[in-house]
Structure 1
């Protein structure tokens, strides 16, 4: 370990090893100086290169919460990187210029985020919070700059459910593990799905965490349809009642799988996956159990944590690993490099595994051991992409 310093008044990073020369960030030589430091950071050095220097890119609107220390996931990554001898800077995408960035570094001794000017990072990790932000001209210009400079950048964007399905269903190995899915544009689309499958989930194409999801199930006589949502259910005499909703084009319909149950309630898996040396490896597996409503297992919408050990013996983990590796490679091929993702995986009563959803921006897992493993793999990925990984 060596030490680097920052002078707040001069807005400059420097070192005090008189006989050494260091590179810090993208093509930036760290200056030697005897200036009074505002703070210092212990860092790892490899062949004269300090870091890696990791940029964690967030939305401008997330900065106030960051400074109030309410961005738990971002702070966890920053602490973990610092502990590993790396340096991270959290910055809005609008603060990335051609030669420098403006952002925040967490300083343990001061127990707060400090504003800094810094060179361009060695790698940039996208944690921008909304699809709307990713569609802005400023965001797109930032991505174009990173691409031009060949600075590694991931994950490029949120993924919609329909985009994912279109990408994955072209893969012969994955096709058997995908519930049939269509993009809904009119009532007849749903009527056709119900005739074939009897029950379908309706999901917002750009939704997450189970928000806005509902299920439609035909009666045995097909004279009415049961409409189930998170807060209850009702009977529809006609699908026409939902015509205005479907006409919006904002939904997909997904075949409802006859899901395996544990003590009478359906469950599914939450799988965390990271890229490592050419493959996508599972960093952890959690399980979630549906509760009073059997619609969703997401904890924020009524689901419950289920120890994976309770259902582990029902899961073909070798097959699951193969599916996750194939998913990672396929989505990277279609959407640019994906360094990490999480997956919602279901098991049918006959033992088949199904990919319900993939999420390019996983949040903190409720299981501490999974989160620790995921953070470790994420740091290893930063090091691999920037040449700091041990050979």
Structure 2
């Protein structure tokens, strides 16, 4: 790592040690920091130590380079890049970012390996016309954050769950501007809905997807009930098990299960017409999916599925950081941890619930890994730049696998902590940052 120090030399001068491996062949090069660039003159001085770089005050001011960080230096034929400069789009407002700053320490836990300027910011503080961002810059010396305004970073990771907010349109507008400026160095974008996910995967992976249709009118529900006596109705952009209905047809009536303020509710209808009136009042066309219920394995009246943590690493390759089983709370419609579920390593569940031996357990884990990699390949072929993604995989008692959902906006690796695997949690954060660094060329 290198440290930038100011000097009062001539404008637009960079001074290096004569022993520095960073000296380019050209005496004049472009100096880059984030999206900022300036033409500079290279000078060499015996007074400069090997890990130091002296920049004229004019340069530091013009490029807005924080002096509190340590940097890697990338040298090309005609440029020197100071970095990395990684932005994390985390929340809608600065107030919310400030409230959660302590949680973002997990991204900088291994700062000595990451280095550079790391900026956590909100959607409201992206200044499009000025090409600047206001946010909280990590201060490695004090392990703290300091608010300031900086040029656009060189890479941006978004973990903002914008689809659940009224700012979704604003999010798209601003992230598209960032993408137009930074190109492929913006990741975890574009976002996709559950319906878009289904349409993209169904042609090649339809055999592992529940039968799914888009809700447009109440008749769509009755049509699906004729095919499958049990169905789920889900918002196409929902998360955390919210606003989900389960509909079950019996010989005597139709039962609809859902939650209000986390309390389970049941409505029964004696005819499809009554049920259709209920959904006409509660559903919006083209905003919900109707989905066949998959007969997932249960244990003690608790639904079980698996969460797969996939992270792009420092070489741009997908790493599987763990497969975890999720036990839904007793009697719940979903397996979400936030709805009272529990988790453990999938290998433990396969042995205790499915009664598999070690060899068979490993075979299942490899099948799950292969399945999610096939799905990821399809997404990447369509231009989705993903680097942090969580797959929810279901398996019935006979071992058949299903892709239930894919969380790509912010699949928090918190599940690893719940499964007493803190190493995987922090490794996921570290690899997020190292992938951003990789995108910048380091």
**Corresponding residue number in structure 1 for 2:299:** 262
User: How many Å separate the matches in 1 of 2:182 and 2:345?
Assistant: 45
CA contact (8 A) 1:24 1:49 kept: yes
Displacement of 1:67: 2.1
Change (3 A) 1:185 1:123: same
1:281–1:324 Cα contact (<8 Å) kept: no
Cα distance in structure 1, aligned partners of 2:89 and 2:66: 24
1:226 aligns with 2:263: no
Determine the structure 1 residue equivalent to 2:248.
Answer: 217
Equivalent residues of 1:55, 1:90 under 8 A apart: yes
1:32 matched to 2:55? The reply is yes
Give 3-state SS (helix, strand or coil) of 2:240's partner: coil
**Residues 185 and 246 of structure 1 are in contact (CA less than 8 Å); yes or no, is this contact kept in structure 2?**
no
The question of 1:371 aligning with 2:408 is answered no
Q: Which deviates the most, 157-166 or 242-251?
A: 242-251
Pairing 1:90–2:90 present: no
- Structure 2 counterparts to residues 20-99 of structure 1, below 5 A: 23-26=32-35, 28=37, 32-33=55-56, 40-47=68-75, 48-61=80-93, 63-68=94-99, 70-71=100-101, 73-81=103-111, 84-93=114-123, 94-97=126-129
Aligned to 1:10: none
- CA RMSD in angstroms comes to 3.2
User: For 1:146 and 1:258, how far apart are their aligned partners in 2?
Assistant: 41
The answer (yes or no) to whether the contact 2:6–2:55 under 8 Å persists in 1 is: no
Structure 1: gaps of 5 or more residues: 8-13
Q: How many residue pairs end up in the alignment?
A: 375
| Cα distance change on mapping 1:121 and 1:15 into 2, 3 Å | farther
Q: CA deviation at 1:96?
A: 4.8
Q: Aligned-pair distance for 1:356?
A: 0.7
Deviation string, structure 1 residues 45-97 (Cα, Å, up to 9, x no partner): 34454332111124442x113223x2555342244456522321123342355
Preserved CA contact (<8 Å) 1:105 1:113: yes
Q: Note the alpha carbon deviations across 1:236-293, whole angstroms, 9 max, x for none.
A: 2232232222454321111111111335532111111123557543222222101222
Task: Confirm or deny: 8 A CA contact 1:104 1:116 kept in the other structure.
Answer: yes
Report the CA distance shift for 1:145/1:46 in structure 2 as closer, same or farther (over 3 A). Answer: closer
Alignment-derived partner of residue 329 in structure 1: 377
TM-score if structure 2 supplies the norm length? 0.75
Contact 2:138 2:145 in 1 (8 A): yes
Structure 1 residue 181, shift from structure 2 partner: 0.9
* Corresponding residue SS for 1:164: helix
Q: Is 1:130 equivalent to 2:162 in the alignment? A: yes
Paired with 2:197 and 2:317, the residues of 1 have a C-alpha distance of 19
Are the aligned partners of 2:190 and 2:385 in contact in 1 as well (CA < 8 Å)? no
Any conservation in 2 of the 1:3–1:41 contact (CA below 8 Å)?
yes
Please say which structure displays the higher CA radius of gyration. 2
Q: Is the 8 A contact 1:95 1:103 kept in 2?
A: no
- Return 360-369 or 144-153, whichever deviates more: 144-153
Deviation at 1:103, TM superposition (A): 2.5
Q: 1:159 to 1:139 in 2, by over 3 A?
A: closer
The answer as to 2:144 corresponding to 1:106 is no
Aligned counterparts, 1:295-374, within 5 A: 295-313=333-351, 316-334=364-382, 336-361=384-409, 362-367=411-416, 368-374=422-428
Cα deviation 1:346-382 (Å, max 9, x = unaligned): 1112111111111112124232233123123323322
Q: Pick closer, same or farther for the CA change 1:41–1:75 going to 2, 3 Å.
A: same
User: Aligned partners of 1:51 and 1:234: how far apart in 2?
Assistant: 58
For residues 78 and 133 of structure 1, the distance between their equivalents in structure 2, rounded to whole angstroms, comes to: 28
